[in-house]
Structure 1
Amino acid sequence: MQFSIPGLAVCAAVLIVAYYSRGMLIIGLMASLAFGSTAAMTLTSLGGSTPLIYTLFAALLVTAVTARRYVWFELGSVFGSIRSIWILMSLMTYAIIGAWLLPRLFAGQTVVFVQSKTRGAVVEASLAPVSANTSQTGYFILGGLTAIALCMLFLHSDRIDQLRRGFFLWCGLHAGMGLIDFFGKCAGAGDLLAPIRTASYALLTDAVEAGFSRIAGAFSEASSFAAASLACLAFCYTYWRKTKSRLAQWLAAILLFLTILSTSSTAYIGLTILCVPVAFSMSASVLRGRFEREEILIFAIMAFGVVTVLGVSLYDAGALDPFIRLINSTIINKANSSSGEERTYWNVKSLQSFLDTSGLGVGFGSSRASSWPIAVLSQLGLFGSLMVAILVAVLVSGVGRARERLDPETDAVVLSVRNAALASIVANSVSGGSADPGMLFFIAFAAVSATKARARRTVTVLRQTQHRLLTQAI
């Protein structure tokens, strides 16, 4: 094990900020998500794997919750009141067994894509056990344990304010480092965030797309930055619409700006998909004949953008050529590019590996795809995919009818967190290579499940109290 001084320094800074924010565990975990290419150590025993710093904060949270005095009582309460936790535990168990068994059971019977240690690139090879079976499964199990720990915290105490501040700190750090990267490249200073990029990932921070410098923020590449930007944007936009928060409004504007400038296909395709529910919501307001001030502002910005583009094109027909080339490169002609053809080939072969293993999958971490649903299907098989689908359905349904019993702030925070996780799933569905849905998914799952269970428990207590008072009155 080799430690990284810059990585440890970032961890210390996050811990200090989280401590003075009166929420070390939750706020520290959320803030660490902004550093998408910072590792505190290198695990030589796992093939040189460099876990990002969020894994340390997640492990700290799980350890701290486990050390609580009434941990077994709280754990039993979680498993007794949140039924979907049993699905999560079953999926974690299945992932562990599959990661060890399936690559050995189907060794050499199908083709997978793995990271080559010598070439530093993804290569095609016959199925066999690899170090990623251990590391990727470990990340997934850590995410599941974090979800259970957060359920224990959310179910037995009001932590919504900590969750809200943690998400805003994450969005603020992400936007801030994105702006640093953007202005540094515009000024010709290069990658200003290079000192904190301590992970052993392939760094594509100096890439150029159609003449535009790609924005990577604190991540290793523009695609990962764009995926995180979409999640942050979904949180800030939802919270702004629910609470009229000026902070959320400005953060949403900055994040939209950075998402567009990231020059990532993930950003543009994901943003298009996320605009669909927004368009439906605004269309419903038009049909009802009731416009909110925020919707009028969005319409005005869109109209101003259209008029500006038309005006520029009329003044100088060639002024928009760089942007047209960018759209052609990242969206229209992406599938025909060498990168697009390679990723399509990954997906086709991943689906073939699902068939070659009779629907059982190749095991967690055994292969790489270019779309999260395909990665889930190929690695976890049909049975594991069904369990993942149930967990996603829990997230999509949200708190349901329990929303009527929530205070406005709790409703706004949980809905915003839920939408951020769904935006992350959309981004991963465009370009995600692993079956792991990511730490944000587990955080949102815990927030939604625990809030719903807590509201249901409150109703039960009220009914019991009313029944007791009625009995005494009779």
Structure 2
Amino acid sequence: MTVLGIVFAVVVAVALVARRSWLPVLIGIGGGLPATASVVVAGNGIPMFSIAAVAAGAALLRTRPLHTAHWSANALAVFLAWATVVTGAAPWLFAGARVLVPRDGIDDQLLDPGTLAHSVSNVAQLSYLLLAACVLLFLVRTGGTATALRTALFVGTVLTAVRGVLVQAGIDFFGPLTDTMPIQYSLAVPGERLRGVFSEPSELAAFALPAAAYFVITALRSPSRARSLWWVAAVLSCANLLQAASGTAVVASAAVIALAAVVLAVRWVVRGGVGTVWMVLGGLVLAIVALTIGDQLAAPVQELVEDKVGSQSYDARTGADVFSWGVVRDTLGLGAGLGANRPSSFGMTLLSCVGVPGTLAFAVFVVGVLVRGFRAPQAAAAAAGLTALLAAKLVGTPDLSTPVLWLFLAACAASAWPSSAPDATTSIPNRTRTPTPTGAPA
């Protein structure tokens, strides 16, 4: 076990036994440190988030069912059932089909693809998915979605910023504590792109973009006393995003900004032109900035795009997605099973691993909770963050088990599946004896 992992596992055990109110915070800590192992067994690392998820699954047994009839809950159930079935059956049904084996790296696999067969990766990825679903249900039932999500976003944002400063100063003592998964980490040295407590800059970008969106919306909706804290967090997230210098960040940020502009325009029309003055002032400010320092602002982005396009990384990622279309075809659209194929983007992960049925079920689930999230004031920031995260993942991060994805989904699902218990962690009735009225038989 790692040093940080030992401490974390002990605290999780204490929380499970005696302080279950701590679990949302611990889940959030694990979500903010997704590339940090709690346990390493036979060369396989178990992330801190998974340890907290196991505790959440155990605690879930002592919570009241939601009894929700919302269609997004049914879609999630269908998705989990299909993912389980296809992960078990596909390596047998389509044995020998060519796939990109996750453990062997994209570059090597594109030159010599592996063959579909049952493997440890199938079990691991399915387990991660089911544990993430347990976390979602536990947080929704106990009302801990906001606590877990905010903890994860603050932990990942602040520790990444701190580590960036330490790396530049040449005193990075975070490495031995956080870089403990048996995976290939990007360099964390002065002059290299920032990756913080994540495995690579693209993973940081996929975290920082939704974090910034969440913090900005929360700041705009918060009382004046708490607003400054959220703005500081938003600035840190944006700084992390810029220092990641990732192609994922550029494309996803452009998509999110375009979507935000469309939403603002629609809201302006629906409200009958309310806020015209602010729209005009904002447009003037943007025009002045573009005319004065637009070239200086655009130059780094243009340089990043030019460096990316045609690079070995770009060719490998594009090739992995193109190859994965063949996996979809070879498995008749049913999927090769979780952990069987590793493309470069989230959409191709769904299509190639859980097929068209699983992708449709997951899409219905996401749309269901996302729509309800935008309609609920308390979940609007989470819905905005989830939208930004999905944009980033569709561009360049393939993992379905990303912790912060399920924390955003939980925060949005809480508005669609309201818990019937005011505090589900204490929903098991106490076995205390009711006092017998005076004069009544015992």
* Same fold, judged at TM 0.5 (above): yes
Look up the match of 1:350. 324
Look up the match of 2:126. 137
Look up the match of 1:174. 156
Look up the match of 2:33. 35
Q: How does 1:340-419 map to 2 (within 5 A)?
A: 340-399=314-373, 403=375, 411-419=376-384
Measure, in 1, the Cα distance between the counterparts of 2:285 and 2:160.
23
Measure, in 2, the Cα distance between the counterparts of 1:307 and 1:186.
33
Amino acid at match of 2:236: I
> By how many angstroms is 1:330 displaced?
3.3
Look up the match of 1:241. 220
1:446 to 402, 405, 410: 410
Measure, in 2, the Cα distance between the counterparts of 1:286 and 1:135.
47
Q: 1:230 to 1:113 in 2, by over 3 A?
A: same
* TM-score (ref. length: structure 1): 0.77
Across the aligned residues of Structure 1 and Structure 2, the Cα RMSD in angstroms comes to 3.6
Question: Higher relative CO (CA 8 A, sep ≥ 6), structure 1 or 2?
Answer: 2
Look up the match of 1:271. 253
Amino acid at match of 2:49: Y
Look up the match of 2:436. none
Measure, in 1, the Cα distance between the counterparts of 2:16 and 2:252.
31
Q: 1:40 to 1:22 in 2, by over 3 A?
A: closer
1:107 aligned to 2:95?
Answer: yes
2:75 to 82, 87, 112: 87
Give CA deviations for 1:51-99 in whole Å, capped at 9, x if unaligned: 2101111221221121x2xx4xx22xx2443443232222222212211
Report the secondary structure of 1:41's partner residue.
Answer: strand
Measure, in 1, the Cα distance between the counterparts of 2:213 and 2:417.
24
1:218 to 182, 197, 200: 197
2:23 to 25, 28, 41: 25
1:427 aligned to 2:392?
Answer: yes
2:233 to 223, 229, 251: 251
Give CA deviations for 1:277-318 in whole Å, capped at 9, x if unaligned: 3223444577765449998997798578547736xx7xxxxx
Report the secondary structure of 1:42's partner residue.
Answer: strand
Q: 1:306 to 1:251 in 2, by over 3 A?
A: farther
Give CA deviations for 1:348-388 in whole Å, capped at 9, x if unaligned: 11111111111111111101001111110011111111111
Look up the match of 2:60. 65
1:50 to 24, 45, 53: 45
Amino acid at match of 1:274: V
Q: How does 1:194-343 map to 2 (within 5 A)?
A: 194-206=176-188, 212-243=191-222, 245-283=227-265, 290-291=274-275, 306=290, 309=293, 324=299, 326-328=300-302, 330-343=304-317
Measure, in 1, the Cα distance between the counterparts of 2:108 and 2:16.
36
Amino acid at match of 1:335: V
Measure, in 1, the Cα distance between the counterparts of 2:267 and 2:415.
29
Q: 1:50 to 1:249 in 2, by over 3 A?
A: same
Give CA deviations for 1:402-421 in whole Å, capped at 9, x if unaligned: x5xxxxxxx44311122222
Q: 1:455 to 1:198 in 2, by over 3 A?
A: closer
> By how many angstroms is 1:15 displaced?
9.0
Verify the 8 A CA contact 1:112 1:124 in the aligned structure 2: yes
Amino acid at match of 1:228: F
1:7 aligned to 2:2?
Answer: no
Q: 1:430 to 1:233 in 2, by over 3 A?
A: same
Measure, in 2, the Cα distance between the counterparts of 1:64 and 1:456.
17
Verify the 8 A CA contact 1:34 1:173 in the aligned structure 2: yes
Number of residue pairs aligned between Structure 1 and Structure 2: 415
Verify the 8 A CA contact 2:149 2:411 in the aligned structure 1: no
Q: 1:417 to 1:129 in 2, by over 3 A?
A: same
Verify the 8 A CA contact 1:234 1:416 in the aligned structure 2: yes
Report the secondary structure of 1:336's partner residue.
Answer: coil
> By how many angstroms is 1:397 displaced?
1.3
Measure, in 2, the Cα distance between the counterparts of 1:412 and 1:233.
18
Q: 1:239 to 1:37 in 2, by over 3 A?
A: same
> By how many angstroms is 1:232 displaced?
1.0
Give CA deviations for 1:215-267 in whole Å, capped at 9, x if unaligned: 11111111111111112112111212223522222211221121111111111
Report the secondary structure of 2:81's partner residue.
Answer: helix
* TM-score (ref. length: structure 2): 0.82
Measure, in 2, the Cα distance between the counterparts of 1:297 and 1:183.
36
Identity %: 19
Where does structure 2 lack aligned partners over 5 or more consecutive residues? 423-442
Measure, in 2, the Cα distance between the counterparts of 1:190 and 1:294.
44
Report the secondary structure of 2:418's partner residue.
Answer: helix
